[in-house]
Structure 1
Amino acid sequence: MQSDLVAALDIGGTKIAGALVDGRGRMLLRVQRPTPAREGAETVMGAVEEVLAELAASPLWPDAGAVGIGSAGPVDASAGRVSPVNVPGWRGYPLVERVRRATGGLPVQLVGDGVAMTAAEHWRGAARGYDNALCMVVSTGVGGGLVLDGRLHTGPTGNAGHIGHISVDLDGDPCPCGSRGCVERIASGPNIARRALDNGWRPGPDGDATAAAVAASARAGDPIATASFERAARALAAGIAATATLVEIDIAVIGGGVAGAGDVLFAPLRRALRDYATLSFVQRLKVAPALTGGDAGLLGAAAAAAPARRGPHAVTFSG
């Protein structure tokens, strides 16, 4: 019987993780290296190759039939290249070809980290059982991905579902992407903290000025901190409602560090969604926190690689 084992890579600005993942989502082997993000392209690739070499040393490796990569973006899956904002040495870097070469020619599937999280949540998390879903990572940035008609929808370059750069405030602040009033510019962790500070919130004695500290203040009743989270929630709700209206999703799953604020974020988000998701076919849209946590990148990379392992007509991994 053909094995469902795949090798998965999760590549970000702080760590490069790898795993051998079976068809039930079990990580049979997991390894990790720090990302030498300030070094040159080949030094970074050297860390990737070290992770792959450690996986390849396992007696399980011969059963691995494909490699899935979830990478910080932007990515260009059609060209197999990556340009992570937080890894300056990689600009248009031919990651797929280099990984294919390092693994002796195994099929390689590349997706962005938001899409990887989506694949993980659809396979083993809060979007499991839903045929149409939006999954989001709300952290330092805001990313996401889509499941449509039961399948991961990546788009030609692997960036479909990148909700962070939908504009929800036409006259809003300029965004580093070049647009204005993007969801990310309002709802990411650093921007929640920035807005709170700009409006007079001050951190406690420990000096923590992160979104997590703003959330703690909001939980304690601070009106400025609460207002910053409410604005972030409205931005997320507007982006989610626009996506749901466009492609008819049934659930929006939210993960990432900002989701750790719990009801400080989710309560105003659900209230705001009622103001934006008004058409009959989106009124029952569900919002849920993500369940796969820190394993999302590896699980999602494995899920994305499953079709390459099992052939063009494969179904998704088993439950």
Structure 2
Amino acid sequence: MHTDLVAALDIGGTKIAGALVDGHGRILLRAQRPTPALEAGESVMRAVEEVLAELTGSPLWIRATAVGIGSAGPVDASAGTVSPVNVPGWRGFPLVERVRAVTGGLPVELIGDGVAITAAEHWQGAARGHDNALCMVVSTGVGGGLVLDGRLHPGPTGNAGHIGHISVELDGDPCACGSRGCVERIASGPNIARRALANGWQPGPDGDTSAAAVAEAARTGDPVAVASFARAAQALAAGIAATATLVEIDVAVIGGGVGKAGDVLFTPLRAALKTYATLSFVQRLEIVPAQMGTDAGLVGAAAAALTRRADDAAEASV
């Protein structure tokens, strides 16, 4: 049994999590700090360094052979930089170089957070055993990643599979990304809630106007809430069908906060998919909920580091 470990970082707008992970995906040590998202770039990096200090200070660190980073995007793996939308202090920030410096020059693999969650679901979760899969995170935004021919397919910059910014409505609302009618503009949690409120949905006495509250109302049969989820499901179905038609995936895994809505989302989504995924080679496409939960980003970052390490070893032996 190989006793080497990899370090993993999961960087988002709310928290920066770190872990030491073994070759079976088990987390042996974890550390976390809140993301000072609205502070200067160096303050954010200090939080990353504090997380890494907890890991490097452990007696287990001597076994660490590589670092994987899953970061909110956009990321640029080819340049080693990150520019997370919700961390304005980081624009083209040289995260790979800075992490390498703190970890004694270990190899560092950077991927987007959607790709990291895909890696986790393929290694340990709902896409396990599938050679061609799309994994999606439907939450405050809509992200994703691809597994093709049994391997994670991050693309040259680490953003391949970013389904949230496929346009599914030609003359749709402008999206924050600059395009129109994107999947995210219709299917993200805040947009589900925005549409329900605009169409007359009334929150309960607690005043909760989140997508989770809309989902609860949809469960009790509120027609406006049901319609808002149906519209989100239609956008997701169109994006998933387009992806399946393009690259022949056989499973789509859906996670994130909106994915937790359960049948309120999955029932209209599976129905809508039938109207978009019509060609023979996409008709067998399954849609399943994610299994990995809150550790998906860390486990996926570790998977990327392990894959990189295996690829490096294979190249060295040629």
**TM-score band, normalised by shorter chain:** over 0.9
Contact 1:4 1:310 in 2 (8 A): no
**Residue type of the partner of 2:250?**
D
Compared with structure 1, are the counterparts of its residues 55 and 185 closer, same or farther at alpha carbon in structure 2 (3 Å cutoff)? same
Contact 1:3 1:64 in 2 (8 A): no
Report the alpha carbon displacement of residue 309 of structure 1 after superposing the two structures with TM. Answer: 2.5
**Residue type of the partner of 1:44?**
V
**Residue type of the partner of 1:177?**
C
Matched with 1:201 is 201
Matched with 2:189 is 189
| RMSD (CA atoms) | 0.9
| Distance in 2 separating the partners of 1:210 and 1:78 | 37
Map 1:91-106 → 2, pairs under 5 A: 91-106=91-106
Is structure 2 residue 144 aligned with structure 1 residue 144?
yes
**Residue type of the partner of 1:260?**
K
Write out the 4+ residue segments of structure 1 that deviate beyond 4 Å after TM superposition: none
| Distance in 2 separating the partners of 1:220 and 1:235 | 23
Is structure 2 residue 308 aligned with structure 1 residue 308?
yes
Matched with 2:49 is 49
| Distance in 1 separating the partners of 2:59 and 2:308 | 22
**Residue type of the partner of 1:163?**
I
| Distance in 2 separating the partners of 1:199 and 1:127 | 36
Is structure 2 residue 227 aligned with structure 1 residue 232?
no
Contact 1:237 1:276 in 2 (8 A): yes
The gaps in structure 1 that reach 5 residues or longer are 315-319
| Distance in 2 separating the partners of 1:123 and 1:238 | 26
Report the alpha carbon displacement of residue 14 of structure 1 after superposing the two structures with TM. Answer: 0.9
Tell me the percent identity.
Answer: 81
Report the alpha carbon displacement of residue 72 of structure 1 after superposing the two structures with TM. Answer: 0.5
Report the alpha carbon displacement of residue 38 of structure 1 after superposing the two structures with TM. Answer: 1.4
| Distance in 2 separating the partners of 1:159 and 1:149 | 18
| Distance in 2 separating the partners of 1:241 and 1:313 | 37
Is structure 2 residue 90 aligned with structure 1 residue 90?
yes
TM-score by length of 1: 0.97
| Distance in 2 separating the partners of 1:292 and 1:261 | 16
Secondary structure of the 2:282 match is coil
| Distance in 2 separating the partners of 1:158 and 1:3 | 28
After alignment, is 63-72 or 35-44 more displaced?
35-44
The gaps in structure 2 that reach 5 residues or longer are none
Secondary structure of the 2:303 match is helix
Report the alpha carbon displacement of residue 171 of structure 1 after superposing the two structures with TM. Answer: 1.1
Secondary structure of the 2:98 match is helix
Report the alpha carbon displacement of residue 312 of structure 1 after superposing the two structures with TM. Answer: 2.9
For residues 290-317 of structure 1, the C-alpha deviation after alignment (integer angstroms, 9 at most, x for no partner) is: 0001001000000011123334366xxx
TM-score by length of 2: 0.97
Report the alpha carbon displacement of residue 57 of structure 1 after superposing the two structures with TM. Answer: 1.0
Matched with 1:72 is 72
Matched with 2:29 is 29
